[in-house]
Amino acid sequence: MSLKTVYDADNIFAKIIKGVIPCVKIAETGDTLAFMDVFPQSEGHCLVVHKNIQATNLLDINADDLTVLMNAVQRIAAGVNDGLEPDGIRIAQFNGAPAGQTVFHLHFHIIPVYEGRALASHASGGPADTAILEPTAAKIRAAL
């Protein structure tokens, strides 16, 4: 899918936002949702989405909505930092399938990096057990 992909209202993140598919939620506002990535690259890998837009990528969102989304990304990254104490944090966002985008609803990855631990590949492996993700999410929530 290219950068000109038409938004699909049935994408997995839209279904998560609607509550059709469950997620391990970290935080939610009227405009944003942060939840654990079920294909984590590291312990604490989470995603932040805007709930009220139909943007497939960074080029589709208006500046005001992007500001709201980026404020949420910063807040959740601070919670990851305080709750998990990683050695670094990677913020990632992919635009178009050739760039690595797999879900065509604009989203940001917050990926904690720990010295001496390799990151898993993006969108690889099988889905993580939510019972394993929940305690990590609880640490992030407590730090917010």
Sign of CA dihedral 11, 16, 21, 24: positive
Q: What gap in Å lies between CA 109 and CA 40, rounded to an integer?
A: 10
43's tokens:
């312990």
45 is catalytic: no
The single-letter DSSP state of residue 98 is G
Q: Are 31 and 141 spatial neighbours (Cβ–Cβ below 8 Å)? A: no
- Residues 6 or more apart whose CB falls under 8 angstroms from that of 39 comprise 120, 122, 123, 124, 125, 127, 128
The residue from 105, 107, 109, 122 that is catalytic is 107
Catalytic residues: 107
